[in-house]
Amino acid sequence: MAKKDQPTDAAKEKDREKWMARFQVRLAMQPGVDRVVVLQAVKEVSVHCAETGEHPRTAFGDPDAYAVQTAARLVPEDRAERARRRGSVVDALDSVRDAVGKVGGL
């Protein structure tokens, strides 16, 4: 690889930051995940990468898939299930609200 084709340290850091940002967002979207879980997961990834020098994509793969795996590992199943049910109820109520809002004159 020619020297000019090699990514700079700044480009590597930017890519690392993009991976971490995507991972955090996807993790936060998982049922039952709260701030504590996100902070714990980010710390685990950061410490691993600092100790090994690996890029998070090399160590953990796709940030979306790793977010799903991490949530499954860190969130108790009963808490995740409650969050899924709560989300279903909220979605149903939103649908009813939207349908009622479309009915004119009521």
- Amino acid identity of residue 73, one-letter, is R
| 63 phi and psi angles, rounded to 5 deg | -65, -35
pLDDT at 16: 95
Distance between CA 33 and CA 4 in Å, rounded?
Answer: 42
Q: pTM of the full predicted structure?
A: 0.73
Average pLDDT, the chain: 85
pLDDT at 52: 97
Distance between CA 58 and CA 39 in Å, rounded?
Answer: 21
Average pLDDT estimate for 46-66: 97
Give 4's DSSP letter.
G
At 81, the pLDDT band (50, 70, 90 cuts) reads confident
Average pLDDT estimate for 90-97: 59
Give 14's DSSP letter.
H
- Is pLDDT above 90 for 40? yes
The residue assigned the tokens 């009915």 is: 103
